[in-house]
């Protein structure tokens, strides 16, 4: 029995795998920005509370020599 040569041709649509990864990274950055703004990240840029105001409760007892 004679052996026949077989030829296999593989055809692809091109390299389209990177589009999904780029979209995932953009969506991740958008979610992180929204979470940063929702949980008070804007106070860092607006100054927040007065930085010169210091609230301290210090108990000072006189010492005897």
pLDDT score, position 65: 64
pLDDT score, position 20: 84
pTM for this structure? 0.44
- DSSP class of residue 61 equals -
pLDDT score, position 36: 87
How many C-beta atoms lie closer than 10 Å to residue 5's C-beta?
4
pLDDT tens series, the chain, 65 aa = 567 788 888 887 766 667 788 899 999 999 999 888 888 766 666 655 556 777 888 888 887 76
């Amino acid at each position: 029995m004679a052996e026949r040569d077989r030829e296999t041709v593989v055809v692809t649509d091109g390299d389209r795998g990177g589009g999904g990864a780029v979209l995932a990274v953009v969506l991740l950055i958008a979610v992180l920005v929204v979470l940063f703004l929702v949980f008070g990240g804007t106070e860092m840029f607006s100054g927040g509370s007065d930085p010169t105001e210091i609230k301290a409760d210090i108990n000072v007892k006189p010492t005897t020599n």
